[in-house]
Amino acid sequence: MKYLSEYRNLEDTKKYLKLIEKIVTKPWNIMEICGGQTHGLVKNGILELLPDKVRMIHGPGCPVCVTPLNLIDKAIELLENNVIVCSFGDMIRVPGSKKSLLEAKAEGGDLRILYSPIEAVNIAKENPDKEVVFFAVGFETTAPANALSVLHAEHEGLKNYSILVSHVLVPPAMEAILDDEFCKIDAFLGAGHVCAIMGFEEYYPLAKKYKIPIIITGFEPLDLVQGIYMAVCQLEKGIFEVENQYARVVKPEGNKAAKEVINKVFEIGNREWRGIGEISNSGYQLKKNYINFDAETKFGIRNINVPENSDCIAGEVLRGIKKPHQCSQFGKKCTPYNPLGAPMVSSEGACAAYYHFSTNLIKS
Amino acid sequence: MNDSELRFDTINLGHGSGGMMTRELLDKLIFKTFNNSFINQKHDGSIVKFAGKIAISTDSFVISPIFFKGGNIGELAVNGTVNDVAMCGAIPKYLSLAFIIEEGLKMEEFQTIVNSIKEAADKSGVLIITGDTKVVERGKGDKIFINTTGFGEVHPKANITTDRIMYGDKIIVNGYIAQHGMAIMSDREGLAFESNIVSDTTNVNFLVKDLLDTFGDKIHFFRDPTRGGVASVLSEIATDINKGIAIFEDDFPIEKQVAAACEILGLDPLYVANEGVFITIVDAEIAEEVVALMRKDEKGKNSVCIGEITNEHPSKVVMHSVIGGKRIVSALIGEQLPRIC
């Protein structure tokens, strides 16, 4: 079986688009949770191929977008104090309260862009006289590798490695969105890669409690339209179940080895989400026996706190209450060139996706 | 020690002093390698003669790493400027060559770079006619920076400007895109991925000359999509001409390994740098013949038409996706940033 080309097949994708058109009778709002899915919908031009009745709402699943402002300021504080800060690429242009990591780098900070947190452990090993911090952002998908970096550092006996943790979890975010009085969401496309790690057993009670279909969905064009079709099928029939469109990757129980690594290093705690606020039990924090690897504790920066930019409606966009182009600053004061908020930076961010897709091609 | 051998294993500040050490480096390496009637004058500059219009282009090369799969900074510095001159519809003739070297660069590496420059210049049919060598303290450079300025004679049949791009014109690319950028990526420290992707750095001036000889002013435009990739170049053109550009994802020539590396790293090949790729925008009626001619040349064997100029969506580039959807392709904002997951 081919895992990519088959899922980029024009004829099959068209077939499912036609099927959606055929069965849809009422307008439905479907939220794709994951930023990778938003990216896939935009990149392949799927939004304009869907029938008008099917409206996609872009969810909060862009790690860059939900990382709170104060975490960026904390990373900058470290950079300005001679710490080597390592980060994934798309984090570096996100504006903090005064500047971005990229600007702090230009001013002399030692910022390294990495693909793997394990690289950061190697940097710590090579620079024993310097402190090295990995900016551990992301959902359940990046948590195993970040946890593993801590275990590696422990194994190597490194005292100069720590992580700035901003890990968030998908199910509590879904619940927070559904609890919002302005929530207009009828069904979810579950985040395929998050479920590849975590499985999807925890979604059953959610679907039941909120009477909402949840389709675990992949990222290729055919995955996305198939996921949307499965959601519309349930909505039209008035049922609400958890279904797995991405079965070639996702098992109900997830990846046991990855979950073990996460559970060894992290425990669940409250987390602040950019634009949304604090959600209880919505993220990971380091367990007590790994607290020496916690950068916030190590450098005493836990108390840095800054208000969000009041011109930016990222919170409403992330909760699906407003579309990016309904923001008064969209494309004016806020562009990918000069982003006011994180969703305009990352290619997975809803605002950047809309901006690149251009307003004249978007369904309002 | 042989009198013709260089006495130092590394470049030091003395090599940029303008004194005896500089002279030795020039005599034993630079003049000896480039050996032509212009540079042999050993003067501050050279005097050249052109019959008609001259195209001039300058570029600085600051690439890291300086040696990569498929080439090094030396040949890049020649090919890059030669191609830029060719993109003006000109036949490149002469290059200036200026080095800014960080002290500590290994002499052997410098020699390799100089030899590559000579080889690339010979392949492109250009002469190095003047130059400069400066050395900066350790930490004030990144091994070596090179600037080249190219001078070329404008082809008598060429009329290359954005004003000549018309509705219906076809956009043709000469081969696989994103090779150079991904080759550099795979050689860069901190990226733990291995591949056999090699840079596409090469000169395309002879192919450009062939096109102008054959099709003259029916060739409306040339451009090489180096930094920022094909997307940024097309986006700039669309804005400049205030006309729409439609491109078709299915037609894009991307080598499998490059496509896979882009997927893994979360990069869009449309934004990845190229060094031996050029885009030509031509009258629709000659498009097929242009592709056929280009495919006969080694440097155009994978040529393909990727799009056209349209009166829809003025000043925007719209990509028609494999599954029939559309999206706007905008210019690259800063550096392309790999996605988290």
List the CATH number of the domain containing B142.
3.30.1330.10
Q: Where among B112, B131, B154 does a domain terminate? A: B154
Q: Following DSSP, what letter does each residue of A241-300 receive, concatenated?
A: -EEETTTTT--TT--HHHHHHHHHHEEEEEEEETTTEEEEEEEEEE-GGGGGGBHHHHTT
Q: What is the pLDDT of residue A345?
A: 80
Kindly state whether residue B292 falls inside one of the protein's structural domains: yes
B22–chain A nearest CA distance, Å = 33
Same domain, B82 and B173: no
CA A357 – CA A323 distance, rounded (Å): 13
- Most B CBs within 10 Å, among A14, A101, A115, A348, to test the B interface: A115
What is the CB-side half-sphere exposure of residue A251 using CA atoms within 13 A? 8
Where exactly are the structural domains of chain A? 65-169+254-298
Percentage of residues of chain A with pLDDT beyond 90: 65
Task: Report the residue of chain B nearest A119, measured CA to CA.
Answer: B190
Q: Do A92 and B323 touch (CB under 8 A)?
A: no
Q: Same domain, yes or no, for B144 and B280?
A: no
Instruction: Give pLDDT, residue A347.
Output: 67
φ, ψ for residue A12, nearest 5 deg? -65, -40
Last residue in a domain, options B127, B154, B181 = B154
B180 shares a domain with B252: yes
What is the phi/psi pair of residue B20, to 5°?
A: -60, -40
SS3 A358: coil
Nearest CA in chain A to B323: A10
Residue A115 pLDDT: 83
Cβ–Cβ < 8 Å for A230, A215: yes
In a domain, B335, yes or no: no
Instruction: Say yes or no to pLDDT of A361 above 50.
Output: no
Query: Closest Cα of chain A to B173: distance in Å?
Result: 22
Three-class secondary structure of residue A41 per DSSP: helix
Task: Indicate whether B32 and B140 sit together in one domain.
Answer: yes
Residue A360: pLDDT band with limits 50, 70, 90: very low
From B132, B154, B176, give the residue that closes a domain: B154
B249 to chain A: nearest residue by CA?
A44
Please check whether residue B339 lies inside any domain of the structure: no
Q: Which residues of B touch A354 (CB under 8 A)?
A: none
User: What residue in B sits closest to A61 (Cα-Cα)?
Assistant: B341
CA–CA dist A152, A149 (Å, integer): 5
Dihedral angle computed from the Cα positions of residues B199, B200, B203 and B208, in that order, rounded to the nearest 10 degrees: -160
Residue A317 falls in which region: left (phi positive, over 0), alpha (psi -120 to 50) or beta? alpha
Could you give the ipTM of this predicted complex? 0.77
- pTM above the 0.95 mark? no
> Total structural domains in chain B?
2
Q: How many helices (H) and strands (E) does chain A have?
A: 15, 11
Q: Which of B38, B157, B147 is nearest to B90 (CA)?
A: B157
Q: How many CB atoms lie within 10 A of CB B305?
A: 18
Helices then strands, counting H and E runs in chain B, come out as 9, 13
Residue B187, domain member (yes or no): yes
Using alpha carbons, select from A26, A55, A66, A34 the residue that is nearest to residue A363.
A55
Best residue in B232, B248, B318, B339 for a mutation probing chain A (most A CBs within 10 Å): B339
Residue A363 has a pLDDT of 41
User: Could you tell me where the beta strands, DSSP code E, fall in A157-239?
Assistant: 161-168, 187-191, 214-217
Q: A43 vs B321: CB contact, 8 Å cut-off?
A: yes
How far is the C-alpha of B154 from the C-alpha of B333, rounded, in Å? 33
Distance CA A40, CA A224 (A): 8
> Which chain B residue lies closest to A42 (C-alpha atoms)?
B327
Are both B145 and B20 inside the same structural domain?
A: yes
From residue B301, how far is each of A207, A300, B43, B293 by CA, in Å? 55, 60, 42, 9
Report the candidate in A311, A315, A266, A317 with the shortest Cα–Cα distance to residue A291: A266
Q: Are B337 and A336 in contact (CB under 8 A)?
A: no
**8 Å CB contact of A89 and B337:** yes
Candidates A132, A197, A347, A354: best to mutate against B (most CBs of B within 10 A) is A347
Q: Where are the beta strands (DSSP E) in B137-203?
A: 144-154, 170-173
**CATH C-level class of A65-169+254-298:** alpha beta
**What's the whole-number mean pLDDT along residues A40-60?**
90
Q: Looking at beta carbons, which pairs linking A4-7 to residues 24 or more positions away fall under 8 Å?
A: A4/A220, A4/B263, A6/A222, A7/A218, A7/A220, A7/A221, A7/A222, A7/A223
CA A45, A49, A55, A56 torsion-angle sign: negative
Out of B326, B329, B341, name the one closest to residue A361 (CB): B326
pLDDT digits (tens, 9 = 90+) for A99-113: 999 999 999 999 998
- Beta pairing, strands A84-87 & A54-61: unpaired
Examine the domain organization and report whether B135 and B224 are in the same domain.
no
Nearest to A148 by CA among A266, A19, A15: A266
* Phi-psi sector, B125: left (phi>0), alpha (psi -120 to 50), beta: left
- One digit per residue, pLDDT tens: chain B, 341 residues? 456 677 889 999 999 988 889 999 999 999 999 999 999 998 889 999 998 999 999 999 999 899 998 999 999 999 999 999 999 999 999 999 999 999 999 999 999 999 999 999 999 999 999 999 999 999 999 999 999 999 999 999 999 999 999 999 999 999 999 999 998 887 775 565 677 889 999 999 999 999 999 999 999 999 999 989 999 999 999 999 999 999 999 889 999 889 988 888 878 899 999 999 999 999 999 999 999 999 999 999 999 999 999 999 999 999 998 888 888 888 877 667 666 55
Cβ-based burial of B292 (10 A; exposed 0-12, middle 13-18, buried ≥19): exposed
B 223-282: CB under 8 A from A: 263, 265-266, 268
Please tell me if residue B337 touches chain A, with a CB cutoff of 8 Å.
yes
Instruction: Kindly list the residues from chain A whose CB atom is less than 8 angstroms away from the CB atom of residue B324.
Output: 10, 13-14, 45, 49
User: Are B138 and B235 in a shared domain?
Assistant: no
Q: How confident is the model at residue A343 (pLDDT cuts 50, 70, 90)?
A: confident
Identify all chain A residues contacting B313, using CB atoms and an 8 Å cutoff: 360
B326 touches chain A (CB under 8 A): yes
Range of the domain at B141: 13-154
- Residue A248 reports pLDDT greater than 90: yes
Q: Looking at residue A353, what is its pLDDT?
A: 76
Query: Does B237 share its domain with B324?
Result: yes
pLDDT of residue A357: 65
> Are B340 and A142 an interchain contact pair (Cβ–Cβ within 8 Å)?
yes
Q: Which residues contact B66 (CB under 8 A, 6 or more apart)?
A: B72, B73, B109, B113, B143, B144
Angle between helices A350-357 and A35-43 (to 10 degrees): 10
Across B9-18, b (16+ Cβ under 10 Å) vs e yields eebbebbbee
Q: What is the CATH number of the domain that holds B235?
A: 3.90.650.10
Q: How many CB pairs under 8 A join A and B?
A: 106
Q: Work out the widest C-alpha separation in chain B, in whole angstroms.
A: 71
Instruction: Write down the pLDDT at residue A364.
Output: 36
Angle at A265 between CA A260 and CA A269, to 5 degrees: 105
In sign, the C-alpha dihedral spanning B207, B209, B210, B211 is: positive
Q: Is residue B270 part of a domain?
A: yes
Span of A77-81, A332-336, B68-72, B272-276 with lowest mean pLDDT: A332-336
